[in-house]
Amino acid sequence: MDTTLNDPIVGQVLDGRYRVDARIAVGGMATVYRAVDTRLDRVLALKVMHPALAADVSFVERFIREAKSVARLSHPNVVAVFDQGAEGAYVYLAMEYVAGCTLRDVLRDRGALQPRAALDILEPVLAALGSAHRAGFVHRDMKPENVLIGDDGRVKVADFGLVRTVGDVTNTTGTVLGTVPYLAPEQIEYGESDTRVDVYACGVVLHEMLTGAKPHGGDTPAQVLYRHLNEDVPAPSAAVPGLAVELDELVAAATARDPDVRPHDAVALLALVRETRAALSDAQLDAIPPQAKPEAEEGAAADGRTTVIPRILPAEDVPEEARVQHTSRLEMAPADRTPPDRRSRPRRRVGMPRRGVLATIVAVLLVLGVGTGVWYINSGQFTHVPSLLGQSEQEARKRLSDEGLDVKIGKDFSDSFERGTVMRSDPAPRARIRGNGTVTIVISRGPKIVKVPDLESMPLAEARRTLKKAGLAPGVVNRSFDDNIAQGSVIRSSPASGTEVRPDSGVALVVSKGSPVEVPGVTGESADDAAAALKEEGLKVKIASVRVNSPVDAGSVARQSPAEGSELSRGETVTLTVSKGPRMISVPDVTGQKTDEARKQLEAAGFEVKVERGFPFLNDSVDEQSVKGGDKAAEGSTITIKTKGI
Listed by start position, the domains of the chain span: 3-95, 100-343, 352-444, 450-512, 517-578, 584-643
CA atoms within 13 A on the CB side of 281: 6
Q: Is 517-578 the same fold as 450-512? A: yes
Residue 473 has phi, psi (to 5 degrees) of -105, 120
Residue range 312-343, pLDDT digits in tens: 444 444 433 333 333 222 222 333 333 334 33
Q: 345-359, 497-511, 558-572, 615-629 — which one is most confidently predicted on average?
A: 558-572
Q: Assess if CATH 3.50.50.60 describes domain 352-444.
A: no
Identify the weakest region by mean pLDDT among 36-50, 395-409, 426-440, 556-570: 426-440
Residues written for the chain: 646
The mean pLDDT value of the chain amounts to 81
Residue range 16-44, pLDDT digits in tens: 999 999 998 887 778 999 999 999 999 99
Architecture of domain 100-343: Orthogonal Bundle (1.10)
Question: Does pLDDT of 536 surpass 80?
Answer: yes
Question: Do residues 504 and 467 touch, judged by C-beta distance below 8 A?
Answer: no
Residue 551 per-residue DSSP state = S
450-512 CATH choice from 3.30.390.10, 2.60.120.10, 3.30.10.20, 3.40.50.720: 3.30.10.20
| The pLDDT of residue 308 | 54
- Decide: residue 226, CB within 10 A, 0-12 exposed, 13-18 middle, 19+ buried: buried
Angle at alpha carbon of residue 122, lines to 118 and 126, rounded to 5°: 170
Q: Which of helix, strand or coil describes residue 586?
A: strand
| The pLDDT of residue 315 | 41
Question: Do residues 47 and 92 touch, judged by C-beta distance below 8 A?
Answer: yes
Identify the weakest region by mean pLDDT among 172-181, 277-286, 315-324, 560-569: 315-324
| CA torsion angle 123 126 128 131 (round to 10) | -130
Residue 285 has phi, psi (to 5 degrees) of -70, -30
3-state secondary structure 264-332: CCHHHHHHHHHHHHHHCCHHHHCCCCCCCCCCCCCCHHHCCCCEEEECCCCHHHCCHHHHHHHHHHHHC
Residue range 201-234, pLDDT digits in tens: 999 999 999 999 999 988 888 888 888 888 999 9
Question: Do residues 339 and 251 touch, judged by C-beta distance below 8 A?
Answer: no
Residue range 145-155, pLDDT digits in tens: 999 999 888 99
| The pLDDT of residue 304 | 62
pLDDT band, very low/low/confident/very high, at 176 (cuts 50, 70, 90): low
CA distance 639 to 607: 7
Express as a percent the part of the chain with pLDDT over 70.
81
Residue range 51-95, pLDDT digits in tens: 877 767 777 777 777 677 777 788 899 998 888 888 877 888 899
- Residues annotated as part of the active site: 141
CA distance 49 to 294: 31
Q: Which fold has domain 3-95?
A: Phosphorylase Kinase; domain 1 (3.30.200)
| The pLDDT of residue 307 | 58
Q: Which fold has domain 517-578?
A: Trypsin Inhibitor V; Chain A (3.30.10)
- Which is more confidently placed, 87 or 106? 106
The CA distances from residue 99 to 18, 32, 166, 172, in Å, are 18, 13, 32, 36
Query: Where does 584-643 sit in CATH, by number?
Result: 3.30.10.20
